[in-house]
Structure 1
Amino acid sequence: MTRDALDTTLEAVKQLDMLLEESVEEARRRESKTFEEMVGDRSARIVLFGAGGLGRRTLAGLRSVGVTPLAFSDNRRDLWGRMVDGIEVLSPEDAARQFGVSAAFVVTIWGAGSVHRFADSVNQLNLLGCDVVVPASWLSWRYAETLLPFYAMELPSKLLEHASEVRTVFGFLSDDRSRREYVTQVQWRLTGDPSCLSHPVADPQYLVAEVVSELTDDVVLDCGAYDGDTLRSWIESRGSSFIRYYALEPDPSNRRLLEKYIADLRPDLAERVKVFPYAVTNFTGTARFDVTGLPSSSFGDGQGIPVECVRLDDLEMELEGLEPTFVKADIEGAELELIQGGLDILGRSHPVIAIAAYHRQDHLWKVPLAIKSLWSEYRLLLRPHNEEGWDLVLYAVPPKRDPTGQLSAVGP
């Protein structure tokens, strides 16, 4: 390790230690009072800025505890003047005119695929005269019983309860960029302010060239294949560098799009791709699946359609006797269950694993710990592929697939 790299690592260690020095009890007190302290006497006068999924979810949660926001505000012109779930949607200008100096504006714009940054909304609303603009996380901490958890958004005290594990995972990471990314992810989870998070990398998701060297004969297992987006990226960036591509997608709408894409491929490529209607988890059987036709289709609480579930260790026949060399997993929060159901095949074949680490607060450290328990020789790297915490991918790279030959873990 060079002197500059060592200095960078030591600085990251220092920052992580500062973040984790708060006690669980102190964090619980902070969670309970941050929103009121930041908005003052406006805690009951709330405008939700963003009438999409998070905004509507927040509205429902607030109503369940007797809190009714004054209005929605949204940048989408087609919503202005309309009612969404019984609340009027105002243009930002109208909302600022009516409530800019008398209400707290809570930014509820946060979703996969969005280029939005919290700072964008703060700047926009401040310029319109809104003087109190806060992130949704602070409001969610205040009403955690109805609003949390939501993806990686969770109470800071929950992270601090696992401070030792959080420190351990820092020591597993193999390059400076990953260590810096990890610290900012911890910072966001503890402060609730996403402004600290880095912008996404330019490389295709799951296929970062500086992280994983290419083969000409990969056996790819794509868990959560969606509509073929990763297959499409693979072909565009790596061509036909696979002998088999096994695509697993339980959502029928997504799977139809996937199969349509495959049907339009060159015959020599299409014949190497096999599609299965499976949800990958830690048991083989059936479960209910919420079908949305979106990347976020997921297991439901007794809702949705029945789908076939399978463990990776039970896919021997489907894999035609081949061992996977590259496993991609983005399965809406069931990533740990995938690892549990694939202990034999993953522990035996040591493939590259590109796995989502953003669906739960604790996946930031639990997924790396689970990967390391499979094989201690894995090099672990983190790369963000979307804004504000979305599409954070952990790359587990066998030494022989390290393109630099220089990746190493450095403990804190």
Structure 2
Amino acid sequence: MSLLHFVKNDEDAVDQVALGFCSEFIHNTDRQKFILGRNIYADCVEKHVKVDGFIDDYTSDIKYHNLPVMRLAAISKNSLVLNVAGGRPLSAKKRLDEFGVKNLDYFAFYKYSKLPLIPIRFSEGFEDEFKSNMKKYEWIYSLLLDDASRRIFEKTVRFRLSYDITHLNGFTSKEDVQYFENFLNLRESGEVFIDVGGYDGFTSLEFMKRCPGYKSIHLFEPEKGNYQSCLERLREFKNVHCFPIGLSNSKKKLKFSIQGSASRVSDTGSVTINLDRLDDLLHCPCTFIKMDIEGEEFAAIDGARNTILTHHPRLAISIYHKIGDFWRIPKLVLSIRSDYEVFLRHYTESIYETVMFFMPKY
């Protein structure tokens, strides 16, 4: 399949409604203007556009950037609302539409406003990367095993190219089932799970529900606070081993930025974490490896070459953090072992939580 039409269609399409909203939101002084949500996108917009306040139905705060924080029901329906909900833009738009207020999402605002705004996180430079490597994207698309994987690929790529949230229609937030698809055929007993990026232990607990007779769990979490949470949540379970280490392709120390579930390696990070190769840390057989480590997945796979080659485990790898991971990660995995089937699944309404699965061919 040629993906050239993805680029052409998105280059030709111009959303006149979005253009009109942007002009009115930036220049109109007759209507009140609000930002729904409070995050890095909201902070950036507030620096460039004079707004009357923020909408947040889930807080007791009354001020933000010295502006009022209001419930949606309290604003005038003649207002203009910019929806900056990064994780649940479809749900937020539905609420705004039902309320009857004119609104636009941040993705379209970023594209059409011409303001120097923060790029969409995890999608910076995607269009140029896609055009430069289109054959590689076509290659991985051709390898995807089922229709669901191909639909998800098309929708996520088209959204990253166009910033049109209509391409996200049909996606829902279902992070509670993330990583545990039926096609993995996990057994109730005997599984050995490697949880790379354990965060607070949630994924390991979900694994236990599905595989109560597991043989062992090995969890890697380098951030001290998260590691302590894992110890506390998992201490009562047998054969669970928690490591205060991150995985990479060499033994080293790196700066780390603490941002909850979005914590990541960063040159400006406030803490130092230890990293090492999985191949040097574990030598036991494993049956399932999950990786969600904020963009370090490629290096961690590289450091797990012998483990993958020797034990042929199922793999669930996050591919949304860095542009190019859509094809670079499968290329690396399949260079280690070519006998994998490839699936793709997505677990939020937005750009986050796209996971590629590698299922051993038996």
Same fold (TM over 0.5): yes
Aligned match of 1:224 in 190, 194, 197? 197
Deviation at 1:174, TM superposition (A): 0.9
Alignment of 1:286-301 (within 5 A): 286-292=253-259, 294-301=260-267
Question: Partner of 1:140 in structure 2?
Answer: 110
Instruction: Confirm or deny: 8 A CA contact 1:96 1:125 kept in the other structure.
Output: no
| Code of the aligned partner of 2:67 | I
2:349 matched to 1:387? yes
Cα distance 1:286–1:72, how it changes in 2: closer, same or farther (>3 A)? Answer: same
Matched, 1:211 2:177: no
State the AA in 2 paired with 1:296.
A
Aligned-pair RMSD on alpha carbons? Answer: 3.1
Instruction: Please name the residue that 2:213 is paired with.
Output: 240
Partner of 2:56: 74
Q: Equivalent residue for 1:169?
A: 140
Partner SS state of residue 289, structure 2: strand
Q: Is residue 37–residue 83 contact of structure 2 (8 Å, CA) maintained in 1?
A: no
Determine helix, strand or coil for the equivalent of 2:177: coil
| Residue 285 (str. 1) matches residue 285 (str. 2) | no
Bigger relative CO (Cα 8 Å, ≥ 6 apart): 1
**In 2: Cα distance, 1:51 partner to 1:70 partner:** 13
Secondary structure of 2:322's aligned partner: coil
**1:84 partner letter:** Y
Q: Structure 2: how far apart are the matches of 1:366 and 1:78?
A: 44
Aligned to 2:272, which of 296, 302, 306? 306
Aligned 8 A contact 2:25 2:33 in 1: no
Q: Is the contact between residue 318 and residue 353 of structure 2 (CA under 8 Å) also seen in structure 1?
A: yes
CA spacing shift, 1:40–1:338, aligned 2, 3 Å: same
Comparing 333-342 with 120-129, greater Cα deviation is found at: 120-129
AA matched with 1:208: E
- The 5 Å alignment of 1:116-135 reads 116-118=88-90, 120-131=91-102, 133-135=103-105
Describe the SS at the equivalent of 1:225.
Answer: coil
Q: Aligned partners of 1:144, 1:252: CA distance in 2, in Å? A: 38
Gaps (5+ residues) in structure 1? 1-12, 401-412
Note the C-alpha offset of 1:248.
0.5
Amino acid at match of 2:197: G
Distance 2:127 2:17 in 1: 12
2:105 maps to amino acid: P
Amino acid at match of 1:226: Y
Q: How does the TM-score come out when normalised to structure 2?
A: 0.85
Indicate the residue corresponding to 2:85 in structure 1.
109
What SS class does the counterpart of residue 213 from structure 2 fall into?
Answer: coil
Gaps of 5+ in 2: none
Q: Aligned-pair distance for 1:146?
A: 4.5
Fraction of identical pairs, as percent:
20
State the alpha-carbon separation in 1 of the partners of residues 324 and 246 from structure 2: 22
Report if aligned partners of 2:93, 2:105 keep a CA contact under 8 Å in 1.
no
Would you say the 8 A contact 2:55–2:71 is kept in 1?
Answer: yes
Question: How far off is 1:342 after superposition?
Answer: 2.6
Q: Distance in 2 between matches of 1:34 and 1:352?
A: 46
Partners of 1:47 and 1:73 within 8 A in 2: no
TM-score (norm 1): 0.76
